[in-house]
Amino acid sequence: MHTVVVGTSGVTASDVLAVARAGARIELSGEAVAALAAAREIVDALAAKPEPVYGVSTGFGALASRHISPELRAQLQRNIVRSHAAGMGPRVEREVVRALMFLRLKTVCSGHTGVRPEVAQTMADILNAGITPVVHEYGSLGCSGDLAPLSHCALTLMGEGDAEGPDGTVRPAGELLAEAGISPVELREKEGLALLNGTDGMLGMLVMALADLETLYKSADVTAALSLEALLGTDKVLAPELHAIRPHPGQSAAAANMLAVLKGSELTGHHQDGAPRVQDAYSVRCAPQVAGAGRDTLAHARTVAERELASAVDNPVVLPDGRVESNGNFHGAPVAYVLDFLAIAAADLGSIAERRTDRLLDKNRSHGLPPFLADDAGVDSGLMIAQYTQAALVSEMKRLAVPASADSIPSSAMQEDHVSMGWSAARKLRTAVDNLTRIVAIELYAATRAIELREGLTPAPASQAVIEAVRAAGVQGPGPDRFLAPDLAAADAFVRAGQVVTAVEPVTGPLA
């Protein structure tokens, strides 16, 4: 099994994916253990002094003015975890919980939190044992960190609350720790606070969304090319010299991908009844511009994610010169913004894909294809309602594109009076990514059927490779009406697994 070693300088996106989705094991580097011990010495020294230090010997948030005596500090740390573990609603996905736990461990290992080495090791042990705390949908405002989600994870560290075992069964966390030979942690000064104060949930979801969208954008380039081909469109608009004079890198990449897919096609440039079209519709002609803008948004979001992955997000933080200072680095605005940007770009990509699908189904605009790609129009309805489903998904995508980060709601008796709502931005982006996958799958389903209905003209070799692969995956081709949902589900699984890209790249070479 792959092992991820956590040091003091952050982790990579591939590390997050390996732990969250592939169950990679985690080890702490010697450097991290030494940094943890050094920072803990500073916290212990401050805890012994009579002067109050926020998070070490005081209450939290609006209660920070109270100095806590030494005999109550362990209780204080337990209490912050118990009281903040106040999430509600359905459970979030296992991969999200593993990502947020791993990313909190990343910050702990930076040596800026003052957490003891044994606490960090226990976090790694829980992940390695396949124990996943129960975390709920609602409870984070994306400021002071993803407080409720991280608190539910810290509760498991203490042997309290519920967690999912490696067999998928939810049981009391204490039982699962005991079976795995893991001793619950007795938290000390600052440790409870340090386990809760980060952007880890929203960042983990951002990293996973970026990975999914990278594949989806390539898949969408392929399906756009198939639709262009099925509509007898021209590939001249994809010429690199046209995109060079508007040098957005994503646009050039999308155009290059589409051009590679269409190489060798006999369908492009043909026109019904010998009547040439001067220009294709925007949904066809502007596909690289829309997909390209989304790709450039991905690039910006990736830069933000990389910076956040290299960050130590906590309050207060232990500095190398021995100071423990309060700060606002837990604010989720940088992550929240790009989560919302991605939802906007995904909605637009879904919207343009749906317009191409509708064009394929409309006999007045499809340039010779049968109505709704039906076998016997009137007797058969063809893909009429598949487009309805796609339209419903697009409509929801537009609602999900409304930014969460433009909102704020004050909390903690107005001490925390401006919050990022980054967790909410991340949650709706996950839904948007799921919906975009389905939208691309429906365009793929329609475009492959439409190409097969163009008798007498040979599609591009790359297009043919996609058609053959999708048919081998159980997605049926043209014919009389049948129960359509299983076909759409198979197309969705095909796109979700990245098989559009793996089908085409042996012909085209690696897509950009």
Q: Which two tokens stand for residue 66?
A: 């109270």
Q: Is 54 a catalytic residue?
A: yes
Kindly tell me the burial class for residue 478, based on how many C-beta atoms sit within 10 Å of its own C-beta (0-12, 13-18, 19 or more). middle
Residue 182, CB-side half-sphere exposure with 13 Å CA sphere: 27
Q: Which long-range contacts (CB under 8 A, 24 or more apart) does 465-474 make?
A: 465/503, 465/504, 465/506, 465/507, 466/222, 466/226, 466/500, 466/503, 466/504, 468/503, 469/494, 469/499, 469/502, 469/503, 470/444, 470/445, 470/494, 470/499, 470/503, 473/499
Q: Which of 175, 78, 160 is nearest to 129 (CA)?
A: 175
CB–CB of 77/193 below 8 Å?
A: yes
Phi, psi of 458, deg, nearest 5: -95, 125
Could you give the CA distance from residue 318 to residue 324 in angstroms, rounded to a whole number? Answer: 5
Residue 397 gets which letter from DSSP? H
Q: Which amino acid is at 422?
A: G
Q: Which two tokens stand for residue 140?
A: 């984070």
The bridge status of strand 170-172 relative to strand 162-164 is antiparallel
Q: Which amino acid is at 58?
A: T
Could you tell me how many residues make up the chain? 512
Q: Which two tokens stand for residue 67?
A: 């100095």
Catalytic residues: 54
